[in-house]
Amino acid sequence: MDFIESLDPQILLGATVAIVVIVAAAYLFTSKKAKGSLDAENFKDFKLVKRTQLSHNVAKFRFELPTPTSVLGLPIGQHISCRGKDSQGEDVIKPYTPTTLDSDVGYFELVIKMYPQGRMSHHFREMRVGDYLAVRGPKGRFKYQPGQVRAFGMLAGGSGITPMFQVARAILENPKDKTKVHLIYANVSYEDILLKPPEVWDGGVGFVSKEMIQAQLPAPAHDIQILRCGPPPMNKAMAAHLEALGYAPEMQFQF
């Protein structure tokens, strides 16, 4: 099942901001915990078996796991470190969050935005089916347990959507998880929006403001958490907005 194609929440996507409120639930989950394919200490090579161009600078890369029933073994909301070569042939390592979960057996996928001057972007731009990617993990401080909060408020910018997507998807695929998800997603332009289901957008546009956060995200409370992931300037601005709106530090987490 392709989650991106099957997802049908209430969606608002914009040229500079996108808002998604997800309250539905899908019903895919694995009944048995399989051993993960990752190594936290050493890089392991995974074969690229499919590359799908999503836009002029975004592609989805599918990598094969050791067996058709293998799982990646990445805890929800954590990430992997990928190693490649930049345009000068020098090693470069960068963290990425897969858009797949352990309910996707036999493979994992990365949605990558390739920047003109990005060192790791060069490596992905040059990758072809049959090539191998060196991966190490899992890494990250975020630990998710179903129902740990009543609601998540998510503030994402650019490729910062990927950990939000992973957490939201895990919630949607667990029929016992009633956690509500509210997402504000900002981009420079409509073309920069990653993982967008609709082809046409006629909703709101603008910078993410205090008023927008107040209107779209859950109000400060002991049983909610605000997740942030985006470029440093955005993270700094969102932290200031949240503080002004009364969100305590323990109500926030930055990927």
What residues are labeled active site? 79, 96-97, 229
Q: Is 199 exposed, middle or buried (0-12, 13-18, 19+ CB in 10 A)?
A: exposed
Q: How far apart are CA 97 and CA 49, in angstroms?
A: 18
Site of tokens 């936290």? 40
CB 179 within 8 A of CB 171: yes
**Number of C-beta neighbours around residue 218 at 10 A:** 19
Q: How far apart are CA 196 and CA 182, in angstroms?
A: 16
Q: How far apart are CA 79 and CA 2, in angstroms?
A: 21
Site of tokens 């003109």? 116
Q: Which of 31, 26, 37 is nearest to 1 (CA)?
A: 26
